[in-house]
């Protein structure tokens, strides 16, 4: 039997929508791919985007873990369940390209968003839902860029050269099996993301701290993501302008709340956009936090904190409360599990928080030479983490890097933050699996395009350095 090879666009168009009843009080039935995109169905169709983002290979587990294992704060030791060893050791190739389903599911989110953006009628009821779609399309595209392209400010990024960006898909073709889209430039990729976020800023729903509104895309979520994108691009004043809109609106966690903040059932004060995982979403040993929790506490304990990371923590830092030293290893208990679900490692996944936005503004101030304002921002965070004020203004850039590592560990920033600042990955812990020293110009800074996509799409160009 002969099988037709399908590109990402064709695969992303299959099995489009499933209901996501957790976002509405009343359960909804799933919709078939052939259902009309109507005002009455708009909420169900939108819920399908969130459902897709929660799949195991995307925000359900793999995407954030892999994004941090490519940095310098996490390791896998010889005591492991054989998960994510290829990613940690950076032994991937197009034929052994891990996270192929992350690639696919991110494009499925893009395609589901396109259906709502292009085909949904414009009414008072649907206008904010379309805003959600613009935000989620931008987020999925940024995630794809983080995985399959070089960071914008990386030493080897050629932002205006052909095929340095992702495949930008903004249509819903009638015959997706015949669509063979090529890649954009990195500049075009970031421009598309920014444009979508600006639309979402105007059209997505409003949100308030400490409410269930943070479990859907919102105007504030778009603003938060814009600060991230502008920092990634090195557009410092724009990052400051956007961050200032949110700082003060979303309170930082009080020190006593930090250690348990990521295992709460309800929305916390810092959350701007999160994916909510309830008991029916539990995946048992495949829950996100299961990889971090040690075996004696019910998890796998595969992913552990590096010695270098632990050396950054001050004894007074309340973030020590989400680490655990056990038998000589240091475990991240940030995602040990929401007690309301009774499942190890099942937590709401926080995608945008005000602490990141504050760190983004601090970095932007520092890069523009306003070291005192950068220090002031850092001290806002330090005060809520039990630390004394930072006073060495001349060294605030290094302090910002340090605080990003401490604050955002496990949240998917490690690899991008390392290589956008042109750092080197070299993990030498005695109990870590051997892994290559990786300079910022190494080909592995960007993952290979999965071979299945290369075989299916003659217009797809592989990342440099990977043989087809």
pLDDT digits (tens, 9 = 90+) for 330-345: 999 999 999 999 999 9
Residue 201 CA from chain centroid, whole number: 19
- Burial (CB < 10 A; 0-12, 13-18, 19+), residue 147, is buried
Residue 388 CA from chain centroid, whole number: 30
Mean pLDDT across the stretch 290-313?
97
For domain 1-204+437-462, which architecture applies? Alpha Horseshoe (1.25)
User: Which bin fits 415, alpha (ψ -120 to 50), beta or left (φ > 0)?
Assistant: alpha
Q: Cβ(406)–Cβ(140) under 8 Å? A: no
Q: Cβ(288)–Cβ(335) under 8 Å? A: yes
pLDDT bracket for residue 260 (50, 70, 90): very high
Residue carrying the six token digits 């217009």: 459
Quick: pLDDT tens for 85-109.
999 999 988 777 667 889 999 999 9
Note the pLDDT of residue 5.
63
Mean pLDDT across the stretch 422-435?
96
pLDDT bracket for residue 212 (50, 70, 90): very high
Note the pLDDT of residue 451.
87
Cα dist from 406 to 205, 237, 464, whole Å: 31, 25, 33
Whether 37 has a pLDDT exceeding 60, the answer reads: yes
Query: How crowded is residue 267: how many other Cβ atoms within 10 Å of its Cβ?
Result: 21
**44's tokens:** 């169900």
Note the pLDDT of residue 252.
98
- The residue ranges of every structural domain in the chain are 1-204+437-462, 277-347
Whether 122 has a pLDDT exceeding 60, the answer reads: yes
Note the pLDDT of residue 35.
59
Mean pLDDT across the stretch 354-370?
98
Note the pLDDT of residue 6.
65
pLDDT bracket for residue 125 (50, 70, 90): confident
Quick: pLDDT tens for 305-320.
999 999 999 999 999 9
Note the pLDDT of residue 355.
98
Note the pLDDT of residue 79.
84
Mean pLDDT across the stretch 62-85?
94
Cβ-based neighbours of 85, under 8 Å, separated by 6 or more: 76, 433
In angstroms, the CA 458 to CA 116 distance is 28
pLDDT bracket for residue 414 (50, 70, 90): very high
Measured in degrees and rounded to the nearest 5, phi and psi for residue 369 equal 90, 5
Quick: pLDDT tens for 134-188.
999 999 999 999 999 999 999 999 999 999 999 999 988 777 778 889 999 999 9
Query: How crowded is residue 380: how many other Cβ atoms within 10 Å of its Cβ?
Result: 17
Cβ-based neighbours of 410, under 8 Å, separated by 6 or more: 64, 68, 74, 292, 332, 334, 335
Report the mean per-residue pLDDT for the chain. 91
Express as a percent the part of the chain with pLDDT over 90: 82
Whether 22 has a pLDDT exceeding 80, the answer reads: no
Express as a percent the part of the chain with pLDDT over 70: 92
């Amino acid at each position: 039997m002969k099988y037709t090879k399908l590109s990402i666009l064709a695969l992303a168009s299959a099995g489009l929508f499933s209901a996501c009843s957790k976002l509405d009080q009343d359960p909804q039935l799933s919709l078939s791919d052939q259902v009309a995109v109507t005002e009455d169905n708009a909420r169900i169709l939108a819920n399908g985007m969130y459902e897709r983002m929660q799949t195991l290979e995307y925000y359900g587990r793999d995407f954030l873990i892999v994004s941090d294992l490519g940095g310098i704060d996490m390791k896998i030791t010889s005591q492991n369940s054989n998960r994510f060893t290829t990613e940690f050791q950076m032994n991937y190739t197009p034929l052994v390209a891990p996270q192929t389903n992350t690639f696919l599911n991110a494009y499925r989110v893009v395609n589901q968003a396109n259906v709502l953006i292009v085909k949904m009628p414009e009414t008072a009821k649907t206008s904010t839902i379309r805003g959600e779609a613009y935000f989620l399309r931008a987020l999925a595209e940024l995630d794809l860029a983080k995985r399959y392209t070089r960071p914008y400010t990386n030493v080897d990024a050629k932002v205006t050269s052909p095929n340095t960006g992702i495949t930008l898909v903004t249509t819903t073709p009638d015959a997706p099996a015949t669509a063979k889209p090529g890649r954009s430039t990195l500049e075009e990729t970031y421009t598309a993301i920014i444009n979508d976020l600006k639309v979402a800023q105007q059209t997505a729903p409003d949100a308030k701290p400490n409410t269930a509104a943070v479990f859907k895309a919102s105007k504030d979520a778009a603003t938060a993501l814009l600060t991230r994108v502008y920092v990634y691009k090195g557009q410092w004043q724009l990052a400051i302008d956007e961050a200032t809109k949110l700082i003060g609106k979303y309170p930082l966690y009080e020190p006593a709340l930090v250690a348990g903040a990521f295992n709460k059932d309800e929305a916390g004060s810092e959350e701007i956009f999160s994916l909510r995982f309830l008991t029916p979403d539990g995946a048992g040993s495949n829950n996100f936090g299961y990889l971090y929790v040690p075996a004696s506490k019910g998890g796998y304990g595969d992913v552990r904190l590096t010695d270098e990371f632990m050396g950054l923590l001050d004894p007074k830092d309340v973030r020590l409360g989400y680490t655990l030293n056990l038998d000589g290893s240091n475990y991240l208990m940030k995602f040990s599990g929401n007690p309301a679900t009774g499942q190890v490692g099942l937590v709401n996944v926080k995608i945008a928080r005000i602490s990141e936005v504050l760190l983004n503004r601090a970095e932007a101030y520092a890069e523009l030479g306003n070291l005192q304002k950068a220090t002031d921002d850092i001290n806002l965070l330090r005060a809520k983490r039990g630390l004394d004020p930072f006073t060495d203004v001349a060294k605030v850039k290094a302090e910002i890097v340090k605080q990003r590592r401490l604050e955002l560990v496990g949240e998917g920033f490690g690899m991008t933050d390392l290589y956008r600042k042109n750092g080197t990955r070299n993990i030498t812990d005695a109990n870590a699996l051997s892994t290559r020293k990786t300079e910022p110009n190494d080909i592995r800074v960007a993952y290979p395009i999965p071979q299945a996509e290369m075989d299916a799409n003659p217009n797809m160009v592989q990342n440099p350095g990977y043989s087809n």
